[in-house]
Structure 1
Amino acid sequence: MNSSCWYSCVVFLLLEVSLVFGDLSCPQNLTLHTLNTQYILQWDWGHEAAMNETVTFTAQYIAQFKTQRPTQRHKWISVCVNVVERRCDFTDSGLFYLGMFLLRVQAKTAQQSSHWVLIEFCPDKHAAIGPPSSVQLNSIIDGLEIIVTDPIDSQNQSMKELVQNMKFLIQYWKKHEDVQKANTLCTENNVVTLSELEKWTWYCVKVQTHCEFYNKSSVYSDTQCTQTGGETTNLVICLYFLTSLVVCGVVFLVFFLASFKAYKTLKSTFYPPITLPSYILEHMAADNDMPKLLIPESEIFCERLEITSAEVSAAITLMEQDQGIETHSQQDSGDSGFISTEEDSCHKEYSLRKHIKHNEVHIEDMCKMNHSEEIQVGMMDVLCLKS
């Protein structure tokens, strides 16, 4: 009985020790996802092993040469501490690109800890290199100019400063041909000229970064296509000119039609056509037949009044008849009376001509002023003088 109790106590103690010192399952399948100087460590872990407890992870690293020194082998640098995610970003942790490092991960719960799982990492050897950050094509006569920009690290610096003997593999081919027939050019230069190509022909280009030391190659950049140049012939110039004329004509026609349409729309909106009622039109037609008090300016006319010498003589005769008695009495007085009669007659004729001239000028002034009533008054004056 005592032995059985002792055995139970020993088993219980062993279970407690196992819970404290690490029966928790370890992270598995440690994988580094890298590109240039971006490093992300990922791992797997089974959910059922924690018995519904919250599990956290801690990731650390150390330079490999420090593990060979007893005084520094325990100086691990923690990057992720008690994180729930099954990943840790080592990009900004200070890993030297040409160095050798050890990375490790441990799983923890409130009462348990797993063993550390190690992985060796050398960025220069294991990190993937990226494609050129940009590729630009320029068309020249009988060829293409290719401008390649270096891949950049997490600090926006050129990877050429870290990667030894970095080169570019350039593939180019005609657009209508299969990419399998592409020509390949290896160069260290960032500006490359492809000469002796066919004129006015479309070519496609893609570029890959390559490191010969570790035989690393990036994926290809996006394919870009452009047309090669050539000498411009007179026929091409004429075609361009005619095309520009046609385009300008079409644009002008469209603009004119659109303007006319807009004008019609605005006119119909702000000045809509209104038809007057029939009774108003009849009243207006009746008003046109009625006499108007004011004579239109186009209907006003004036003629020059001319008085001949015969009319003057007739007027003098009428005046002499009115004074006949006085004339006869004066004739009996002798020679002196005859002379005075002649003088009076001349004086009367001069006065009459002066009065008629004055009336004629007055009539012309009235015609210029377009005043019909004054014309009638002038005519009445003349008629009175004749009578």
Structure 2
Amino acid sequence: MSALRCVLLLINLTTAVGDLSPPQNLSLQTQNTQYVLLWDWAMNGTATFTAQYLPGFQSRKAPHKQNWKTVCVDVSERRCDFTHADLNYLGLYCLRVRANTSQRVSNWTSINFCPDKEADIGPPSSVKLTAVKGDLEVDIADPMSSSNASMKTLAQEMYYLIQYWRQADGNQKPEVLPTRNNKVTLFELDRWTWYCVRVQSRYDFYNKRSDFSDTQCMSTEGQTLFWQILLSFLLSLVLCFLLAMLVWFCFYRMLMFLKSVFYPNVHLPPHLQELWSCDSETPRLLPPQSPGSDCEPLDLISAEMVVVMDAQSPNCEDLDTSAPSGHGSGDSGFSSTEEDSSHTHTHTHDMLKTHTPLHDGTLELCA
């Protein structure tokens, strides 16, 4: 009875496993150390997938002693990334995948994988061009692994194939240059000509060829002529001169501005300049307050007053005829009158000689 139950349980288990279709058409999408396992599944419906790997040397052991390592568990996508599964680049591995549902699982579908042999190699990480004395210098960066290590550490026989051609001759067959160096100089190029360059990674042991890198184009240089050197020198001199003139002009304008602010260019009126020049040692514009000063107060009178004073001042003849005959003796009266007239006339004449016309029509007199 117990034997019958075991047989029925084995039959049910076989049926449960065999009813679900396994994944098919397993393939690998690889570049350097990036490995992605892809597969197809023919059945319709919802299912998840589980992917595992086993080192090749353990495949000879009994199934219960094999140590399969799971990378993807119950994923809905039909792909599994083995990049970070620590697969040795020179190792041999067995990869397998199966479909899962809530009640059933399919059989495993497996594929063997050797990264060193089957993984594609990538193009250079970057290609840079530099024009050096009429030649082109090509700087090549190694393709990198997933751990940011150079692929030359894994594939030591890897080298590069450089293709270059003139940009104007797009249909011309390009020149090729194989090299293991990361810095290469292209010689015997035409001067002042545009060239295009692209680089491919190669690994001949397993006949690996990468895609070409992006095409880089650059113009070569030529020998600098004497007139070009002279023209550059003259232009430099002109620019330096203009810059110096600009600096000097800015400085001069700033100096004039400061001078106009702190030392304004305002001239005194002429009558004030005469007062200023009266005393060269201590010029003053206002009457001095201290006694004993050399300057004296000024009396200001109008021009009409001067004319009136001149008209009213008696002359010598008027004084002689108008002098009374009975006033004192003849000699003393004439002398006194003549002296007074002469004194008055002299005082008026001195006032007329020392007057200074002002801007408001008045006269300025020095006492």
Write the mapping of 1:38-187 to structure 2, written as runs, cut at 5 A: 38-48=34-44, 52=45, 54-70=46-62, 73-187=65-179
CA contact (8 A) 1:305 1:360 kept: no
- TM-superposed CA distance for 1:18, in Å, is 4.3
1:315 aligns to 2:315 (yes or no) = yes
Among residues 327, 335, 346, which one is paired with 2:339 in the alignment?
346
Among residues 23, 29, 32, which one is paired with 1:27 in the alignment?
23
Measured at CA, do residues 111 and 133 of structure 1 come closer, stay the same or move farther in structure 2, by a change above 3 Å?
same
- TM-superposed CA distance for 1:320, in Å, is 3.8
Q: TM-score, normalised by structure 2?
A: 0.70
CA contact (8 A) 2:160 2:201 kept: yes
1:329 aligns to 2:329 (yes or no) = no
- TM-superposed CA distance for 1:175, in Å, is 1.0
The amino acid that maps onto 1:371 is D
Structure 2 residue runs of 5 or longer lacking an equivalent are 1-7, 237-301
The amino acid that maps onto 1:317 is E
- TM-superposed CA distance for 1:155, in Å, is 1.6
Q: CA RMSD in A?
A: 3.3
Match of 1:358 in 2: 351
Q: Secondary structure at the match of 2:189?
A: coil
Question: What whole-Å deviation, never above 9, does each CA across 1:127-159 have from its counterpart, x for those lacking one?
Answer: 111000111111122321111010111122111
The amino acid that maps onto 1:152 is M
Question: What whole-Å deviation, never above 9, does each CA across 1:290-319 have from its counterpart, x for those lacking one?
Answer: xxxxxxxxxxxx999999xx9899633334
CA contact (8 A) 1:105 1:117 kept: yes
Q: Secondary structure at the match of 1:181?
A: coil
- TM-superposed CA distance for 1:13, in Å, is 8.5
Measured at CA, do residues 110 and 19 of structure 1 come closer, stay the same or move farther in structure 2, by a change above 3 Å?
farther
- Once residues 89 and 190 of structure 1 are traced to their aligned partners in structure 2, the CA distance between those partners, rounded to angstroms, is 31
Measured at CA, do residues 189 and 85 of structure 1 come closer, stay the same or move farther in structure 2, by a change above 3 Å?
same
Match of 1:247 in 2: none
Report which of the two has the higher share of helix.
1
- Once residues 304 and 184 of structure 2 are traced to their aligned partners in structure 1, the CA distance between those partners, rounded to angstroms, is 101
CA contact (8 A) 1:67 1:73 kept: no
Among residues 204, 210, 222, which one is paired with 2:214 in the alignment?
222
- Once residues 313 and 232 of structure 2 are traced to their aligned partners in structure 1, the CA distance between those partners, rounded to angstroms, is 94
The number of residues matched between the two structures is 290
Q: Secondary structure at the match of 1:353?
A: helix
- Once residues 84 and 226 of structure 2 are traced to their aligned partners in structure 1, the CA distance between those partners, rounded to angstroms, is 61
Match of 1:193 in 2: 185
Measured at CA, do residues 239 and 220 of structure 1 come closer, stay the same or move farther in structure 2, by a change above 3 Å?
farther
- Once residues 192 and 349 of structure 1 are traced to their aligned partners in structure 2, the CA distance between those partners, rounded to angstroms, is 121
Measured at CA, do residues 324 and 180 of structure 1 come closer, stay the same or move farther in structure 2, by a change above 3 Å?
closer
CA contact (8 A) 1:140 1:230 kept: no
CA contact (8 A) 1:97 1:122 kept: yes
Identity %: 43
Q: TM-score, normalised by structure 1?
A: 0.67
Among residues 204, 210, 220, which one is paired with 2:202 in the alignment?
210
Q: Secondary structure at the match of 1:208?
A: strand
- TM-superposed CA distance for 1:196, in Å, is 1.6
CA contact (8 A) 2:313 2:344 kept: no
CA contact (8 A) 2:319 2:338 kept: no
Measured at CA, do residues 171 and 242 of structure 1 come closer, stay the same or move farther in structure 2, by a change above 3 Å?
farther
Measured at CA, do residues 314 and 348 of structure 1 come closer, stay the same or move farther in structure 2, by a change above 3 Å?
closer
- TM-superposed CA distance for 1:210, in Å, is 0.3
Write the mapping of 1:237-252 to structure 2, written as runs, cut at 5 A: none
Among residues 359, 363, 371, which one is paired with 2:360 in the alignment?
371
Report which of the two has the higher share of strand.
2
- Name the stretch that deviates more: 68-77 or 96-105: 68-77
Match of 2:296 in 1: none
- TM-superposed CA distance for 1:357, in Å, is 2.3
- TM-superposed CA distance for 1:71, in Å, is 8.0
